[in-house]
Structure 1
Amino acid sequence: MGMRLMSAIPGATMFSHILLAIDASEASTNAIRIAIDLAARLGAKLSVLHVVVRVPTAPHAPAGGTAGKEQVVEFDALRTMADARGVDCACTSVSDGTPARAIDAYATANGCDLIVIGTHGRGGLKRMILGSQAEKLLRLSRIPVLVCPQQGDFAIHHILVLVDDSDASHYAVDVCMDLATMLGSHVYALRVISPLPSVNLLADYLEGNIHFKHLTADAERLLEGIRRQAKAAGVAVSTEYTFDRRPDTVVTARACTHSCDLVVLPRHGRAPHHTLFHDLTEICAMTAETPVLVCPQPVDQPVT
Structure 2
Amino acid sequence: MYKNILIATDGSSLSARAVEHGTNLAKAVGATVLLLTVAERFHVFALEADQLEETPASFREHIQKHAERTLEEASEIARKIGVDATTLHMEADAPYQAIIRTAEGQRCDLIVMASHGRGGVSALFLGSETMKVLSHSKIPVLVVR
TM-score tier, shorter chain, comes to 0.7 to 0.9
The aligned length equals 133
Q: Which has the higher helix share?
A: 2
**TM-score normalised according to structure 2 size:** 0.78
- Contact map agreement 1:43 1:87 (CA 8 A) in 2: no
Aligned equivalents of 1:122 and 1:58: distance in 2?
25
Structure 2 counterpart SS, 1:15: coil
Say which of 86, 89, 111 aligns to 1:90: 86
Structure 2 counterpart SS, 1:19: strand
- Contact map agreement 2:37 2:70 (CA 8 A) in 1: no
Give the letter aligned to residue 145 of structure 1. V
Say which of 60, 71, 78 aligns to 1:75: 71
1:88 shift after superposition? 2.2
| Structure 1 alignment gaps of length 5 or more | 1-13, 150-304
The percentage of aligned residue pairs carrying the same residue is 34
1:122 shift after superposition? 4.9
Equivalent residue for 2:9?
22
Give the letter aligned to residue 52 of structure 2. A
* 1:50 correspondence with 2:44: no
1:115 shift after superposition? 0.3
| Structure 2 alignment gaps of length 5 or more | none
- Contact map agreement 2:103 2:109 (CA 8 A) in 1: yes
The 3 A distance-change label for structure 1 pair 123 and 25 is farther
Aligned equivalents of 1:89 and 1:49: distance in 2?
10
Aligned equivalents of 1:66 and 1:79: distance in 2?
20
The 3 A distance-change label for structure 1 pair 82 and 140 is same
Aligned equivalents of 1:86 and 1:33: distance in 2?
11
Give the letter aligned to residue 140 of structure 1. H
**TM-score normalised according to structure 1 size:** 0.40
- Contact map agreement 1:52 1:96 (CA 8 A) in 2: yes
Say which of 15, 20, 24 aligns to 1:33: 20
Runs of 4+ residues over 3 Å off in structure 1: 122-127
CA RMSD of aligned residues (A): 2.5
Give the letter aligned to residue 36 of structure 1. T
* 1:126 correspondence with 2:123: yes
